[in-house]
Homo-oligomer: A and B are copies of this chain.
Amino acid sequence: MPQKKLKLADLAKLAGVSTSTASRALNDNPLIKQETRERIQQLAKTHNFSLNAAASRLRLQKTKVIAVLINLDAETEQSIDDPFLLKVVSDINLAVNRQGYELLLSNSYMAGEDWHGYFIDGRRADGVIVVGQGKQQARIDRASEAGMPLVVWGDPKTEADYVIVGSDNFLGGKVATQHLLDKGCKKPLFLGEPEHAELGERYKGFSDVIEQAGLAEQAQLLKIDITSQAAYDSINRKLRSDGLDFDGIFACSDMVALGAMKALKERYVSIPNDVLIVGFDDIAMADVSFPSLTTIKQDTKKAGELLVEKLLAQLVGEEVSSSQLAISLVERQSS
């Protein structure tokens, strides 16, 4: 430990000015003479000086921190498994940094019941980005009512009084399903959990197209958790009990699609000849699986930027509204 931490007052003394001048100089306040400003900034650099963020936050009543709250359904501790969610977090991180904010990674376990109290009153963050609407909508509502600056990654069609950013899941569902039909699918299967906000919309899109095509009789819904394991198991079980009574799958996520693919391949069901598959998300694995996976791409980069942008707008008191991101079909070998 070379030298003791110096505080602003020490730096000021070194520079031969008052603390207030030093403070203003570091913040590039034009009240201070240009020359003095530069001299002090230089001095700060050579001495590796950094402001005490705690003191600064206390005084300013602002933290320059954005919290990202992973809203898992399960109340138990749980690490995040879906690479897509992690990708979203990673892209939010980038956007946050680009705006000069820091990222506090949190979850329902830490934040407890009273999010407003924990983050805002507790001066841990200036605003919160909630990833995943989950089934904890009540908590989100409460935080929002308490006036917590808040943006949610979810389905923008949801009726809510907070701001939501998300893909056009309904359209995604339609596009995916239409694609299956275009490729000759007659007996489509939806693999996923329609109760969940985003997935519900995808299922609606699915149903919509099916209805239009007069295939309602032949279509099926297989409710499962959003994990590749669940998909693998349930497709296995279905093949054993019903045989191959479908010729196309719209999986609610890529991980689910990959799980299903594995089960099919193990039983020598040919993809895409016997069964067409379309996923959702476009995670890295979709491109590298074999056959590579046709999917609906969600623009996580844009999402991150938008989420942060809207949150910061709220912080300066602007009125912001939900918005929907365009999705796109990425055609690969599985269809």
Quick check: B94 and A79 within 8 Å, CB to CB? yes
Q: Does A121 contact B (CB under 8 A)?
A: yes
24 pairs of residues in contact across A and B, judged by CB atoms under 8 Å: A2-B145, A2-B147, A48-B116, A50-B117, A51-B122, A52-B58, A53-B122, A54-B57, A54-B123, A55-B58, A55-B123, A68-B105, A77-B94, A77-B98, A79-B90, A79-B93, A93-B105, A102-B110, A103-B105, A228-B284, A228-B287, A228-B288, A229-B287, A266-B290
Chain B residue contacts of A53, Cβ below 8 A: 122-124
| Distance of A1 Cα from B317 Cα, bound (Å) | 14
Cα A102 to Cα B232 with chains together (Å): 36
Cα-based distance from A160 to B141 in the complex (angstroms): 50
Residue of B nearest to A118 (CB): B50
A107 touching B93 by the CB < 8 A rule? yes
In A256-295, which residues have CB < 8 Å from any B CB? 258-259, 261-262, 265-266, 284-285, 287-290, 292
A262 touches B289 (CB 8 A): yes
Task: Decide if A97 is an interface residue (CB 8 Å cutoff).
Answer: yes
Partner-B contacts on A (CB < 8 A):
1-2, 5, 48-55, 57-58, 63, 68, 77-81, 83, 86-87, 89-91, 93-94, 97-98, 102-107, 109-110, 114, 116-118, 121-124, 145-147, 228-229, 232, 255, 258-259, 261-262, 265-266, 284-285, 287-290, 292, 301
Residue from B50, B102, B146 within 8 A of A121 (CB atoms): B50
Contact of A288 among B1, B2, B122, B232 (CB under 8 A): B232
Q: Please, which residues of chain B bring their CB within 8 A of the CB of A265?
A: 290
The docked-state distance in angstroms from the alpha carbon of A109 to that of B94 is 9
Cβ B290 vs Cβ A48 within 8 A: no
Minimum distance in angstroms from A227 CB to a CB of chain B = 9
